[in-house]
Structure 1
């Protein structure tokens, strides 16, 4: 399984609504927004080794890109493990950490949007 994962989903919600739900999902997962553009269409997010008391073993960094598609919002996420100073891990990462955080992120996002992914 590769360390870097990508996932894309489309939600039948406005971009602003989706951006706010992403911020809430990040807060709910005890993450931190490191960077975002003024339009809030590109975010860089970092998650700690431990989320809600569950020790995952690696920190992760996530890039989220939002775009409007025919009245809906496309959410494109890239996630990968990082070391203590924020560098991308190319080897030695624990198995399953990125996919776990990615799944939790989309679950929190969909809960806040009150939809299921399409």
Structure 2
């Protein structure tokens, strides 16, 4: 079985992209494929607590992330520098994550068979 790493870079509410990627992640995991997520750059905002996108007619993608555990997505990584550059800490996020430093990301990628980036 091949392991999958989904690398997300875009914020949750910049269009339908984040929702579509989450759908693909859930579909992949539903077929018992080992699936992990790495959030870089503005994608770290996808997990920020206290979002209220419904006020602007958008879906709350952050509410989908807790369901990943049901689908056996065990590893959600965030780049430590991306959090820091945006004034966030792991405690500002809606679920526990594994912080990884920028210098360690190539090694994380090598541990997976398939990479999907967006």
- Normalising by the residue count of structure 2, what TM-score does the alignment of the two structures yield? 0.27
More helix per residue: 2
Structure with higher strand content:
1
